[in-house]
Each structure stands twice: as C-alpha cells, then as structure tokens.
Homo-oligomer: A and B are copies of this chain.
Amino acid sequence: MANTLGEFRSYRQRMNDRIMESEHLGIKRFFNLDTAAYRDGALDARTKELLGLVASLVLRCDDCVDYHLIQCVDAGLADAELHDAMNVALVVGGSIVIPHLRHAFATLEQLRAPRSGAPAEG
C-alpha cells in the first residue's frame, strides 16, 4: 500500500488505541455503535458503506472518506459505482465538496494501484 494511506491507517489505529485507553465508557460505547452501524442488517454492509461514503463527502471529512473508500473497495464496489455515489454527494453538497472529491480520487488511485508482489496489509 502506498505511503500516505498507510500512514493514515497506522496513525488512525494508534490514536484509536489511545482513545480506548481513556476508559471513558461513553466514548467506548460510541465506537462500538459506530462499528455496528455498518454491519449487514436490513441493508447489506456494501450499501451501508456507500451511505457512509456519501455522508462523509457531504460533511467534508477526508479521513472519513478514506476510511469508507477502503471499506467500499474491500466490499467489491466498482469504480463506476463509487463515481455514481460521489456524483450524488457532489450534487447534494455542491462545489465545496470538490476538494474532497479530488482527495477521494487520489485515495482510490492508491487503493487500485497494483502492488508489486507482496501482501499489502497483513
């Protein structure tokens, strides 16, 4: 996995660990709720990740966009499907979303890049 995205993942993991170490019950429960919201239910996880992606784009949160793009790619969504979702976010959220669209395309480029040989994440 290319540079920036890898750094994001390790920073994200390290700081989430710190947050958990605070042992604040409310915060811990919130994190659990957040994870649970994207599990298969009446809607499947794949659709929910698209919902998370569009919500992240219209609220203009690059880290959240990255997180949900990773999940969307893992869930097997094709570029054309992701572009269609991004278009909804763009129309709803307006040109102020464009910088985050650029960010999303840059992240997607990294996620789709052929990785020379090795197992990337694990």
A60 to B58, CA, bound (A): 11
> CB distance B102 to A34 under 8 Å?
no
Total contacting residues, chain A, CB less than 8 A = 63
Partner of A60, one of B19, B61, B79: B61
Partner of A91, one of B26, B85, B88: B26
Q: Mark A29-48, 1 if CB is under 8 A from B, else 0.
A: 11101101110011100011
Knowing A42-B81, A105-B15, the reply to whether A86 touches B27 (Cβ < 8 A) is yes
A2 — which chain B residues lie within 8 A by C-beta?
A: none
A47 — which chain B residues lie within 8 A by C-beta?
A: 47, 50
> CB distance B61 to A58 under 8 Å?
no
A103 to B91, CA, bound (A): 20
Stoichiometry (number of copies): 6
Across the interface, name the chain B residue whose C-beta is closest to A15.
B102
User: Quick one: which of A40-88 are within 8 Å of B by CB?
Assistant: 41-43, 47-48, 50-52, 54-56, 58-61, 63-64, 78-81, 83-88
List residues of A whose CB falls within 8 A of some B CB: 11-12, 15-16, 18-19, 22, 24-27, 29-31, 33-34, 36-38, 41-43, 47-48, 50-52, 54-56, 58-61, 63-64, 78-81, 83-99, 101-103, 105-106, 109
